[in-house]
Amino acid sequence: MSSRAPGRSVTVEAPPNIALVKYWGVRDPALALPYNSSLSVTLDRLRSRTTVRFDPALTEDRVVLNGEAARGGPRDGVVRFLDRVRGLAGLEARASVVSANNFPTASGLASSASGFAALASAASGAAGLALSPRGLSQLARFGSGSASRSIFGGFVEWRAGHRPDGRDCYARPLAGPRHWPPLVDLVVLVRGAPVKEVRSQDAMQRSVATSPFYAERQRALPGRLARIRTAIAHRDADRLFPLVMEECDSFRQVCETTDPELDYLTDTSRTVLDAVVALNRARGRPVAAYTHDAGAHVHVFTLDRHLAAVRRCVAEIDGVERTMVVRPGPGARPIPRAPTGRAGRRRRAAARVRSRRSAG
């Protein structure tokens, strides 16, 4: 194993995603292989930006998350992931990792998905690995299962696969970000949403072991996944929205029948769910659909023509801090390094001129 590293800094931005079909539980923890396939929407506007540099001069990995030195579990997870990258690349050098999110962390908005998708891309690039998108997806799942989906944009399916070695377990894009332009996700941020005390990776295995509803959910998932996939392909909101809520209710039932119970929602969260049901009933058709991950914030999918009504409906609920409109967006992408020297100075000067012209 070489002690030399490429020594270059690589920065990558990656988005979170919201699962329309959830993965909850792994059949092989060592290989991070899920029990079931899942399907998600990659979100625009929300991003984790991560910079990685392997440096032979470092005596230990340095990890900064959201401006603070990481400690305990968050740091340990990053270091374990870096060890995997070092093993693939044949490196011994420690790394500097600086990562920040532009949205709340560890609150059910999939910051682990965006964080580890960005880390997989940045660390592998900094280590000199040239992984395909499928390879990045397979690597990212070792940090967070849902990170495998955040490598790609738009509508993404993570295939659980069947092989014991996990070679057929990877995410793949189903449709791009512009597949369904009127579809919108209204993210409802709940005031006082608690930070998760139990990591999802641990909580889901507790559900596998103790929830009496888990096996029933597993039997229903393949058919539901196929119907949701078809509804997306045909841009059929009337079919998609009820299925999304059915899937979310199934996930929540597993959590609430886990011993001890996993209850991620607040009273405000539940009021948002009830409001969506009431709005659909009043309109006589499904104009919106709720879903949530392991957290208190709620995602409400709707179409542009219904957005104003849906936003008014949920924004008036006591305890809703704010709402944010997001759409299907691109996947992980590298951020080019700022040019240095004479070329860099010329480019920055030209940018300043353009800025002054646009301001005038």
Residues 117-175: tens digit of each pLDDT: 999 999 999 999 999 999 999 999 999 999 999 999 999 999 999 999 999 999 999 99
One domain for residues 151 and 219 = no
Q: Residue 4 pLDDT > 50, yes or no? A: no
206: in domain? yes
Contact 116, 16 (CB under 8 A): no
Please indicate, yes or no, whether residues 303 and 160 belong to a single structural domain of this protein: no
Domain boundary among 148, 177, 206: 177
Q: Is the pLDDT of residue 199 over 90?
A: no
Q: Are 196 and 162 part of one and the same domain?
A: no
| Total count of domains within the chain | 2
Q: Note the pLDDT of residue 109.
A: 72
**Does residue 168 share a domain with residue 190?**
no
Provide the H-helix boundaries in 183-283: 200-210, 214-233, 237-256, 267-283
Numbers of helices and strands, H then E, in the chain:
10, 16
Q: What's residue 104's pLDDT?
A: 73
Statement to judge: residues 191 and 49 lie in one domain:
no
CATH code at position 135: 3.30.230.10
Q: Read out DSSP for 295-351?
A: SS-EEEEEEHHHHHHHHHHHHTSTTEEEEEEE-B----EEEPPPP-HHHHHHHHHHH
Least confident span in 2-11, 21-30, 163-172, 239-248? 2-11
pLDDT band at 348 (very low <50, low <70, confident <90, very high): low
Do residues 40 and 59 both lie within one domain? yes
Q: What is the pLDDT of residue 351?
A: 46
Do 164 and 19 lie in one domain? The reply is yes
Domain of 307? 183-326
Residue with tokens 């329309």: 20
* pLDDT tens, position by position, 253-262: 999 999 999 9
Instruction: Check whether residue 72 and residue 145 sit in a common domain.
Output: yes
2 part of a folded domain: no
- Last residue within a domain, chosen from 143, 158, 177: 177
Residue 106 pLDDT class (50, 70, 90 cuts)? low
Report if residue 214 sits inside a domain: yes
Do 282 and 187 fall within a single domain? yes
Q: Which of 138, 154, 177 finishes a domain?
A: 177
Verify that 30 and 170 share a domain, yes or no: yes
Angstrom CA distances, 215 to 37, 156, 220, stand at 15, 25, 9
* CATH number assigned to the domain comprising residue 279: 3.30.70.890
The answer to whether residues 135 and 45 belong to one domain is yes
Which of the pair, 241 or 337, is modelled with greater confidence? 241
What integer best gives the mean pLDDT of the chain? 92
In a domain, 353, yes or no: no
Beta 94-101 vs 62-65: how paired, if at all? parallel
> Do 104 and 198 belong to one domain?
no
Question: Is residue 348 situated within a structural domain?
Answer: no
- The model's pLDDT over 54-71, given as tens digits with 9 standing for 90+, comes to 999 999 999 999 999 999
DSSP reduced 3-state for 138: helix
Q: Decide if 344 is inside a domain.
A: no
pLDDT score for 337: 80
pTM passes above 0.85: yes
